[in-house]
Amino acid sequence: MLDWTDRFCRYFLRLISGRAVLYTEMVTTSALLHGDREYLLRFDPLEHPVALQLGGSDPGELAQSARFGEQWGYDEINLNLGCPSDRVQSGRFGACLMAEPKLVAECIQAMIDSVEVPVTVKQRIGIDHLDSYQQLCDFIGILSSAGCATFIIHARKAWLSGLSPKENREIPPLDYATVYRLKREFAHLEIIINGGITTPTACAKHLTQVDGVMIGREAYHNPWMLVETEARLYGGAQLTSNREQVIQRLVPFVRRELARGVPLNRITRHILGLYHGQPGARLWRRYLSEHSGKNGATAELLLAAAEQLIK
């Protein structure tokens, strides 16, 4: 979700969901140690609970980055072991680290020793030819021995050569049964499933087998499914009852960010899916896209876009 789940996206999603744990886009240790730390770590208190996802392979750098995350108030530190892109591999982080379980264990141990908040991992079920069930169990066993108790598992292995990141989201097929089996055999661990989950019904089904569900691209393109999922899983009153309420609550935040010099379209690009599947969805997207980049565009543009759907 690199370049997707920035703080503007997360604030918007929190207005929709009161229960979901929100994750940052992956932040590399080198960026945190040598870049603009405030820009990379700043978030609004409304986002809680929110997890900082890190990319890196040096135990010391990851420990320091985890400390930065805890100091800034993040509720969880997550190590990315699932991203298959060439750029990530060249930096020796992401999915390629699944070939180095002892190094990953050292990283996990260093992070756990450095912070009080939970340290978790997000991984694949395998990479390339390291894809047997026994290798997967061995990997999880080594990391759990280092202290990791929560594993977010994308139920698809990654091919690190020959496939693009997009293709790695579609090839090979998802294997939910393997994640279910892991939960049965590692009952003491928290196992969260990820990959291709798009409906409240699917979420409910997975939760009969595992401890949690992570939703990625579907929540971005169709954010209202979070409302529907919470209603399905928990019942009762939800955080918000309609899309117009979300827009009204978002406007003051947008005003504050515009006053700080943030371009309006940096925020509106994340809310294009609010009316996904609803009458007027295309009009909503077009109005925001056409007007949010214009000079002098204000937060009231969101209200004007919503009014277009009512006419």
Q: Which residues are catalytic?
A: 83
Separation CA 250–CA 261 (nearest Å): 17
Residue given tokens 């703080």 in the structure block: 7
Which residue intervals of the chain are DSSP H helices?
7-16, 29-34, 37-41, 59-71, 86-90, 101-114, 133-145, 176-185, 200-206, 217-221, 225-234, 243-259, 264-268, 281-291, 300-310
Neighbours of 147 (CB within 10 A): 14
Residue 41 near residue 72 (C-beta atoms within 8 A)? yes
| Token digits of residue 263 | 């371009």
Residue 122 near residue 51 (C-beta atoms within 8 A)? no
Separation CA 269–CA 297 (nearest Å): 14
Using CA atoms, how far residue 265 sits from 95, 233, 251, 270, 289, in Å, is: 32, 34, 13, 9, 8
